[in-house]
Structure 1
Amino acid sequence: MVSKEVEMKLYNAASSGDLTTLVQLLEEDPYLVHGVSFPCSRNLLHVTAIHGQTSIVEQVLKLNPQLARISDSEKSSPLHIAAAGGHVEIASKLLSVAPEMCWRRDDQGMNPIHVAAMNGHVEILEILLLESCMPAMERLHRGQPVLHLCVKHAQLRALKVLVEKLGELVCAKDDDGDTLLHLAARCGQLETIEYLVENKALNLRTRNAIGKTAHQILKEIPRTTVNYSKMENLLTDFSIFIVIPKMTNSIMVVLVLIATMAYQSVINPPGGVWAGDDDKSSHKAGEAVMASTHPDAYINFMNANFMAFICSITAMFLFTIKVHKFLYPFMFMLTFIVNMGMALLSIMGTFLESMYAITPDELMKSKGNNILLSSTVWLSIFGLMPVCAAGVRHLYRWWVSEQSRQQVDLGADAFPLRLRLLYWTSQHLDMPTIFRALR
């Protein structure tokens, strides 16, 4: 039985790093290194690891390396304590003696890798991962991976190290379906969100178990939170591919077809080109015949054709880029729609001018006005109405949100009758998905 006095001397020597006193006590009673137990069932290695006494750890490991495999009453091994305290040398020595302790879990279910990550001790984390990355795959309470633990405790440096070593875990979810972005948004961590967005492995549109995205989670915290607007911009994922996924192929085919038609119309205009030079009329080989026979129509044709080509190229560009920080997604979508509509209108303009150039004047005088009137009516109905309906819907919803924020009565007479009728009409129009996305 070890006396309280000897036990206190041993504890003081181990905690203060007094190697001389420790060796003297152990020479007097070699059993001390094996049998002494301090509060919480801790042995000498626990005590020296707590106080970061590397020289004492070396001496104790020489006398009894099995102490590195013993846990205290909280199921924490000396490696757990070294990882929590950030004692790199001690962790390295303990790991060399008992590498299997990387897997040992304490009463919180955490192994030394979890403990090092939670406390942000990157050097120890790298040493442990160098030994084995498999313990880092172990999940915690409610299925949280170690990466979630880093975000929860705002340890960005540790998170970067783990993502570099365990890239496949970056998309992992916990039992609630939360990704790293969901957790970072809930905790309001701007730097973590910036890093995860730049990583591009995570999809901003991913939903958790209750169907919420990271952006929707962010809206649950007060807007007065520091850097709220920056986080909102980062988590706003606006892409035509995402808004209208079912129409992706169809729209791209239409845009490419318009650009191809515009290009072909330039190199092969209506009426063809002159086959050879003509000194009498100053015609040159390759020039458009329409430019000489119908100069005004040819200018209109070229303007419309140029507009169709430029608008189709612009729409393709808007269609393929992904805008994370765009502050006005409605305006971005509207810009795409306008470009798409202008491209279609321009193609119709080239068609009408081409038909005018190749149609005999007698027939054009009798039928031309009817064709022009029919085209105008068709464009007004199927071109402008959906855009106007989308605009009215957006205006109405903005008005409702503003009135709700100001706690104003939203009775039936609060909004002008004509706008309410337009809104009802826009709600019942059978419009394409691209306009429903603007809701």
Structure 2
Amino acid sequence: MEETLIKSDEKKLYDAAIEGNASLFQKLLQKNPFLLNKISFSSTHKSPLHIATYQRNLSIVQQIMDKSPELAEELDSQKSSPLHIAAAKGYVEIASILLAEAPKMCWSRDCRGMNPVHVAAMNGRVDVVERLVEEDGFAAMERLDRGETVLHLCVKHRQLGALKALVEKLGEFVCEEDDAGDTVLHLAVRFRQVETIQYLVENTIIHKKSKNLKGQTPLKILKQSITQPGSEETTQKIKEILKIRSTNQSSQSPPVEWLTKKRDSIMVVAILIATMAFQAAVSPAGGVWQDDTPPHRAGEAVMAYNNPETYKNFIRSNTVAFVTSLSTILLLISGLPFKYRFFMWALMAIMWVSVTAVGVTYAASIMVVTPGFDRKSLSQVIKTGISVWSGVMVVLLAGNILRLLLRWLRRVGVGFWTSERCFRKSGEV
């Protein structure tokens, strides 16, 4: 008799969740506070939380979370959590309630191998995507079968809004490839998504000449695709977009891409320079005094007494090399987006200064350890080399600063006779 009553209450609880009857739902829980737990243990299908989430019954979801927050981690027969359902439906308020109790469910995968971020993205639920990425951005970097990313999923399901939201949050992750070597640009070209292609080539650092494992560039994929009747116009539009991107990249993008692709190599070089500078500081050329004989003391640099002016230049340049190399390391590990030119030029300028300082340190060291009869001729060569190198660095730095200044002035509406305008006129002639 008692078991029959319990089953009757379970059915009423399910009916209340389906109908959105919050008052009946509350009465049933007051009558039997353990009713939710009993259903959870006995049911292999959807729990009342799954049903309330699906029906967007916010008050019932909140009641369930207050009584049994562990139900947020329950999975149905398809391995879907309530958060999967909220993500698919775009219920950002319910998603926030569930995340507050079970944030780790961002990583839960259903029977298709998708976590809630994947589900929200493929359904174009931009608000939920942003909320999930805000909660745990790493969950958005989980890959699907065949190495596809959530961005590949957005392109496959034609969800440009979700793609934009994710690119803004994930930055350089947009360049990731699947197991076939396809980027999202390859995929967008294969599916002939003009708006998506235009967004990718104008707002991301993906290069249009990137090749997949078959050696295909996006343009080659476009040429090999089977065209449908009436699709010539779309094909021509895509060609124009990719060609414009190619022109822009030839003059602007390579430095950005070079820094992005060579990030690890730059880090190694910066660490090497920092190590060299530190070693040169504690063990300068010529060594250190081994005894405490006035006026020197043990451990002090011999160079400081025998060549005081050279030692000052040595210390200055070595310190600059050490500090700038540490600055380079800090910029790289901070994850600054090099698609923004300010960060790119700042890093390049610091690298120039660091390499130049290493050259000056080398010259000072060589001058100290070179015998007197060869020092005069050698010093002239070194001074000439340093002067030429410094001149080149100053010209490059000044030129890039001028380019940034002119670009900023054009942006704010100040007209100038720039080299770009001059080239344009000469071309017209």
1:60 and 1:6, CA in 2 relative to 1: closer, same or farther beyond 3 A? same
Higher Rg: 1
Secondary structure, counterpart of 2:207 in structure 1 = coil
1:47 and 1:240, CA in 2 relative to 1: closer, same or farther beyond 3 A? closer
* Shift, 1:5, TM fit: 4.3
* Shift, 1:197, TM fit: 1.0
Residues 125-147 of structure 1: per-residue CA shift (max 9 Å, x gap):
11111111111111011000111
Q: Does 1:34 align with 2:37?
A: yes
Specify the alignment match of 2:254 in structure 1.
none
Higher helix share: 2
RMSD (Å), alpha carbons: 2.5
Is the 8 Å Cα contact of residues 194 and 238 (structure 2) preserved in structure 1? yes
Is the 8 Å Cα contact of residues 91 and 124 (structure 1) preserved in structure 2? yes
Alignment of 1:102-251 (within 5 A): 102-219=106-223, 220-223=225-228, 224-225=230-231, 227-236=234-243, 238-239=246-247
Is the 8 Å Cα contact of residues 172 and 205 (structure 2) preserved in structure 1? no
Is the 8 Å Cα contact of residues 204 and 214 (structure 1) preserved in structure 2? yes
Secondary structure, counterpart of 1:74 in structure 2 = coil
Q: Distance in 1 between matches of 2:249 and 2:208?
A: 13
* Shift, 1:29, TM fit: 2.6
Alignment of 1:246-395 (within 5 A): none
Is the 8 Å Cα contact of residues 10 and 25 (structure 1) preserved in structure 2? yes
Residues 118-169 of structure 1: per-residue CA shift (max 9 Å, x gap):
1111111111111111111110110001111111111111111111111111
Is the 8 Å Cα contact of residues 90 and 125 (structure 2) preserved in structure 1? yes
Q: Which runs of 5+ in 1 are unaligned?
A: 243-338, 340-439
Counterpart amino acid of residue 185 in structure 2: L
Q: Does 1:75 align with 2:76?
A: no
Counterpart amino acid of residue 22 in structure 2: L
Secondary structure, counterpart of 1:166 in structure 2 = helix
Is the 8 Å Cα contact of residues 121 and 154 (structure 2) preserved in structure 1? yes
1:238 and 1:18, CA in 2 relative to 1: closer, same or farther beyond 3 A? closer
Specify the alignment match of 1:12 in structure 2.
15
Counterpart amino acid of residue 123 in structure 2: N
Normalised to the residue count of structure 1, the TM-score between the two structures is 0.52
Is the 8 Å Cα contact of residues 186 and 221 (structure 1) preserved in structure 2? no
Residues 54-76 of structure 1: per-residue CA shift (max 9 Å, x gap):
00000011110010011112111
Q: Distance in 2 between matches of 1:240 and 1:78?
A: 46
Residues 362-400 of structure 1: per-residue CA shift (max 9 Å, x gap):
xxxxxxxxxxxxxxxxxxxxxxxxxxxxxxxxxxxxxxx
* Shift, 1:7, TM fit: 3.4
1:40 and 1:222, CA in 2 relative to 1: closer, same or farther beyond 3 A? farther
1:163 and 1:202, CA in 2 relative to 1: closer, same or farther beyond 3 A? same
1:63 and 1:184, CA in 2 relative to 1: closer, same or farther beyond 3 A? same
* Shift, 1:239, TM fit: 4.8
* Shift, 1:28, TM fit: 2.7
Q: Distance in 2 between matches of 1:182 and 1:94?
A: 36
1:84 and 1:180, CA in 2 relative to 1: closer, same or farther beyond 3 A? same
Q: Distance in 2 between matches of 1:90 and 1:241?
A: 44
Is the 8 Å Cα contact of residues 50 and 85 (structure 2) preserved in structure 1? yes
Residues 267-325 of structure 1: per-residue CA shift (max 9 Å, x gap):
xxxxxxxxxxxxxxxxxxxxxxxxxxxxxxxxxxxxxxxxxxxxxxxxxxxxxxxxxxx
* Shift, 1:241, TM fit: 8.8
* Shift, 1:30, TM fit: 2.5
Secondary structure, counterpart of 1:203 in structure 2 = coil
Counterpart amino acid of residue 27 in structure 2: Q
Q: Which runs of 5+ in 2 are unaligned?
A: 251-425
Q: Distance in 2 between matches of 1:183 and 1:51?
A: 35
Q: Distance in 1 between matches of 2:25 and 2:220?
A: 59
* Shift, 1:188, TM fit: 1.4
Specify the alignment match of 1:349 in structure 2.
none
Q: Distance in 2 between matches of 1:191 and 1:208?
A: 22
Q: Percent identity of the aligned residues?
A: 50
Q: Distance in 1 between matches of 2:101 and 2:239?
A: 49
Is the 8 Å Cα contact of residues 76 and 105 (structure 1) preserved in structure 2? yes
* Shift, 1:201, TM fit: 0.5
Q: Distance in 2 between matches of 1:150 and 1:137?
A: 13
Is the 8 Å Cα contact of residues 40 and 74 (structure 1) preserved in structure 2? no
1:33 and 1:216, CA in 2 relative to 1: closer, same or farther beyond 3 A? same
Residues 246-273 of structure 1: per-residue CA shift (max 9 Å, x gap):
xxxxxxxxxxxxxxxxxxxxxxxxxxxx
Q: Does 1:86 align with 2:93?
A: no
Q: Distance in 2 between matches of 1:178 and 1:132?
A: 26
Q: Distance in 1 between matches of 2:88 and 2:226?
A: 31
Q: Does 1:21 align with 2:24?
A: yes
